Amino acid sequence: MSAAAEAARAREVRSRRLLALPALVILALAAIGPLLVVFVYSFLTPGPYGDVVWTFSTDAWTSVFLERDIFDDTLSLADAHMAIFARSVMLALATTVLALLIGFPTAYFIATRPERTRELWLFLVTVPFWTNILIRTFGMLEIIRNEGLINTVLGNLGLIEQPIQMLFTDGAVMAGMLYVYLPLMVLPLYASLDKLDFRLVEAGYDLYATPFRVLTRIILPLVRPGMIAGSILVFIPALGAYVTPRVLGGGKTMMFGTLIELQFGQGRNWPLGAALSITLMALVMVALLVYVRHAGREARHG
Amino acid sequence: MARPFDVRRQRGFTLIAAFCFALLYLPIAVLVVYAFNAGPSLSRWEGVSLRWFVAAANNAQVIEASIRSLQIAVSAAVVATAAATLAALATTRTPPYRGLTTTYAAINLPLMVPEIVTAVALLIVFARIKMATGYTGLGYLIAAHTAFCIPFAYLPIRARLEGMDLNLERAAADLYATPLRTFRHVTLPLLWPGILAGFMLAFVISLDDVVITEFVKSGGQDTLPTYMLGQLRRAITPEMNAISTVFLALSIVVVTVFFLVSRKRD
C-alpha cells in the first residue's frame, strides 16, 4: 500500500472511531460502567439505612449460597435462596418449552400462508410485542384474578361456588410470562421457517416419509437456529422477570428479580442485592454461551 | 372427494396457531372491552360508557405521569437515535479496524443484561451522584433511557445501511462532492427510513419501560407505567383499563407506521 493510501486509511479509521464516540460514552456512563460498580458493591458491607459502608467483606457472596446458623455458627446451604433460584430456573424453562410448543406451529402456520395474508398474520404477532409489558400483564390479571374472566364465566355457568384462586401462584407467573414473551419465540421461528425450502419436504414425501417423520427429520433440523434463538430470547428475560412475578405472583412466589428488589427495599442489604445481580448475570451468560456454541456449530456445518 | 395432498400441511398446527392468537388477544380484548363498562366491576356488564376515560383524563396524577413519560421518551429517543446513527455509520461497510469489535459488543451489551440488573446498577450509581451533587431532576431517567434505547435504535439503521448501494456514494465522490455533501445529499436521504424506524423503536421502548424507571426515579417522578404498577397493587378500577386502552391505541399507531416504513424497499 502506498504512503498516501495508508494515510487516507488512517484518517478514515480515526473519523470512524470519532463517530462511534457519543454512543460509547453514553453506554459507558449509563450502562456498562454501572455494571462494574455493582461488582464492587457486592464486596462491601451494608449500611444501616441501605447503601453501603466502604469496608471490604465477602459476607454478601457467602449469603448468596450459604446461611450461618444463629446458634452454633455453622454454615449450611441457604435453602430459601436455593428454592428461589430453582423456582426461577424451572419457571423460565417451563415458559420456554411451552412457548416453543405453541410458537412453532404458529410460526409454521404464518410461514405457509399465501404471500399476501402472511404480512397481516405477522403484524398480529407484532402488535402484542410492541404493547407495554405492564398492560399485557394487567390483561392477564383481568383473566385470572378472583373477579376475573375465567372465574366470572365459570361462576355464571354454575360450575363453581367459590372462585378458583389462580392469582399469586407459580402457575399465574408462568401463564403471564408465556403470554408476554410468546411473540419473542414466534418472530425468530418465523424468520427461519420463511427460508425453508419446501422442495426438501416434497422430496421427503416422495420417499414415502410420514408427515411426522417429515416434521422431525427434515423441518425441525432445518429451523434449529430459529428454535435456539427464540428459546434464548424467551429464557433470558423470563429468568430475570420482575414485572410479571410482582403483579401476578405476590409475596410468596418470589423469583430472582423480586428477590433482588427486596434487598434494595425492605431488605436494606445492597451488597447482597449486588451479589445476587451478578449471579443472575452469570446464569444469563451461561445460557448465551450455550447459544453461541450451538450457533457456531450450525455455521460450521453450513 | 379427498382433499388434494398438500406438502405444507401438518396436522393440528392450524388449531394451535388459532389458540396462540386467541391467547395473544383475549387478555387485551377483555382489557379494552371493560374500559367501556359503565359499572365498576369486571363481573357485571352495565352498559357502554366513557366515564372511566373521563375519570382518567381528570386525574391529575395520570396527566402528570403521561406528560413525564412523553418528555423522557422524546428526549431519550432523539439522543439515542442521533448517537446510534453515528455509531451505525462508524461500524458498517468498513474493513475491520482496531476497536470495531469492541464498539459492536458495547452497543449490543445492554440487550443481553437482564433489565433488573441494569436497574440495580443505575440505582447504585445514581444514588451516589444524587448525594454528591444534590441534583434530583429528570436527567437521570433520560440518561438511563437513552442508554438502553441505543441498541434498539441502532438495529434498523444498521440494517438499512448494510442494504444500501455503495456505488451511489462513489458516484457522488467521483463528481467531486465533499464527504459532507455526499452524506447530506446521498447517504442521509437513503438512510432516512432506517433512522425513522430506529427513532420509533427507541420511543416505544422508552415509553414501555417499567423496571429501570421504577428503580431510578426519585420521589414524585412516576411515569405512566410506574404509576400503573403502583395502582395495580391497590384496588383495581376500570380507570386503569381506560388508561391502558389509550396507551394500547398509541402503540398500535406506532407499530403500524413502523411496519409501513420498514416494509418499503426501494
Which of B23, B116, B154 is nearest residue A242 as measured by Cβ atoms? B116
B-chain CB neighbours of A182 within 8 Å are 20, 23-24
Q: Average pLDDT of B222-238?
A: 88
Cβ of A132 and B225 within 8 Å? yes
Residue of B117, B148, B200, B213 best to disrupt the A interface, most CBs of A under 10 A: B117
Which of B8, B98, B146 is nearest residue A112 as measured by Cβ atoms? B8
Q: How confident is the model at residue B266 (pLDDT cuts 50, 70, 90)?
A: very low
pLDDT of B196 strictly over 80:
yes
Would you state the cell numbers that stand for residue B11, as one nine-digit string?
396436522
Would you state the cell numbers that stand for residue B101, as one nine-digit string?
469489535
Q: How many CB pairs under 8 A join A and B?
A: 265
Residues B126, B132, B138, B139, CA torsion sign: negative
Q: Which chain B residue lies closest to A201 (C-alpha atoms)? A: B7
Q: Which fold has domain B60-263?
A: MetI-like fold (1.10.3720)
Strand partners, A48: A50
CB A238 within 8 A of CB A177: yes
Query: End-to-end distance of chain B based on CA atoms, in angstroms?
Result: 46
Instruction: Please provide the size of chain B in residues.
Output: 266
User: Rounded to the nearest 10 degrees, how much is the dihedral formed by the CA atoms of B119, B122, B127, B130?
Assistant: -130
B-chain CB neighbours of A257 within 8 Å are 114, 116, 211
Q: Which chain B residue lies closest to A181 (C-alpha atoms)? A: B24
Given this model, what pLDDT does residue B169 score?
85
State the complex-level ipTM: 0.88
Residue of B9, B116, B256 best to disrupt the A interface, most CBs of A under 10 A: B116
In the predicted model, residues of chain A with pLDDT beneath 70 are 1, 251, 296-302
Cβ of B210 and A247 within 8 Å? no
* Average confidence score pLDDT of chain B: 89
B-chain CB neighbours of A132 within 8 Å are 207-208, 210, 225, 244, 247-248, 251
CB A149 within 8 A of CB A136: no
Given this model, what pLDDT does residue A302 score?
41
Scanning B148-167 for CB atoms below 8 A from A yields 148, 150, 154
A-chain CB neighbours of B225 within 8 Å are 132, 134
Given this model, what pLDDT does residue B86 score?
95
Helical residues (DSSP H) of chain A, grouped into ranges: 3-27, 33-41, 59-65, 79-111, 115-130, 133-144, 149-156, 170-194, 198-206, 211-214, 220-222, 224-239, 243-244, 256-264, 270-301
Q: Average pLDDT of B99-122?
A: 91
- Distance, CA of A66 to CA of A64 (rounded, Å): 6
Q: How confident is the model at residue B2 (pLDDT cuts 50, 70, 90)?
A: low
Q: Average pLDDT of B94-101?
A: 86
B-chain CB neighbours of A271 within 8 Å are none
pLDDT digits over B30-48, tens only? 999 989 988 887 767 888 8
User: Rounded to the nearest 10 degrees, how much is the dihedral formed by the CA atoms of B2, B5, B9, B14?
Assistant: -20
The residues spanned by each domain of chain B are: 12-49, 60-263
Residue of B9, B13, B20, B107 best to disrupt the A interface, most CBs of A under 10 A: B20
pLDDT of B205 strictly over 60:
yes
Cβ of B259 and A131 within 8 Å? no
pLDDT of B85 strictly over 80:
yes
- Min Cα distance B29 → chain A (Å) is 8
